[in-house]
Amino acid sequence: MKKLLSILGSITLIGAGPASLVACSKEKATLKDLSSVLTNTKLGDLANKEEKTIKNAIKEKNKNIIIDELVLSSITEKSAKVSVKKESKVYNQITAGSEINIEFSVKATLKDLSTDLTVTKLGELANKDEKTIIKGIKDNNKNIIIDELVLSSITEKSAKVSVKKESKVYNQIAAGSEINIEFSVKAILKDLSTDLTVTDLGTIKNKEKETIIAAIKNKNKNVDIDEIEVGFIKDKSAEIFVKENSNVYKVFKNKESIVVSFKIGK
């Protein structure tokens, strides 16, 4: 009897063996490749590169994925590699070097323009061209990123500064809240001879300075008489100089002057 039971037991074990293998085979067949559910690998802008943030973004872009089965590695500012946990019950294992690469960008922490644009009085500029003003801003505010700026309402004395749309550095500035900058435009001086072309004043009633100046203006309509002065006066002539710090004419060098002539009469 014992021998018979032993034989029957052996037959039972032999019969059970293939069934168990089939069951195991079926269990393995339920695993799937991670690539079948991780189809969107470009995650877009992320708040940071922390693992939790990246996994949440993966889930957001790939609704059917089981993020608890994932392992991240080689995390940089722009990408990370995704593989599967050991003994995963959901996904097939991924061999080393075959991890799935995902891409993203880390959203910059923007700051207010006023933190970098602290000096708003730029002093004297050569002109009011946008390029010149931008350079003046940079010269006075070393930390500012000038490629992120927009100028508007430019006048001879001021301009408004705002931020480019979609700036990666500065927060946007609401209309009407632009930062006002001030400056002065350096005058382009000219030679007095360009305006004082007629030096023969003709007959004047006397050789007082006021009379000579009036005669110069009468003969040379474009002369700015507030920018000139009369020097040494002779009986029939006088020396005309440009005032120091003139905003119109170049000051003569080496005591040079323009000599005007006249005669006294009624």
Q: Is residue 61 part of a domain?
A: yes
Same domain assignment for residues 117 and 144: yes
Q: What is the mean pLDDT of each run of 10 residues along the chain (266 residues)?
A: 45 45 51 95 93 96 95 95 94 92 90 97 95 98 97 97 93 94 92 97 96 98 97 96 92 90 93
Residues 6+ apart with CB under 8 A from 202: 215, 219, 262, 263
Domain that holds residue 99: 30-106
The number of folded domains in the chain is 3
Same domain assignment for residues 92 and 119: no
Judged on CB neighbours under 10 Å (0-12, 13-18, 19+), 108 is exposed
What per-residue confidence (pLDDT) applies to 113?
97
Q: Is residue 134 part of a domain?
A: yes
What per-residue confidence (pLDDT) applies to 30?
87
Mark out the alpha helices in 62-156 (DSSP H runs).
130-140
Q: Is residue 73 part of a domain?
A: yes
Same domain assignment for residues 173 and 205: no
Q: Is residue 86 part of a domain?
A: yes
Same domain assignment for residues 34 and 102: yes
Which of 168, 185, 202 corresponds to the end of one domain? 185
Structure pTM?
A: 0.50
SS3 118: coil
Same domain assignment for residues 76 and 122: no
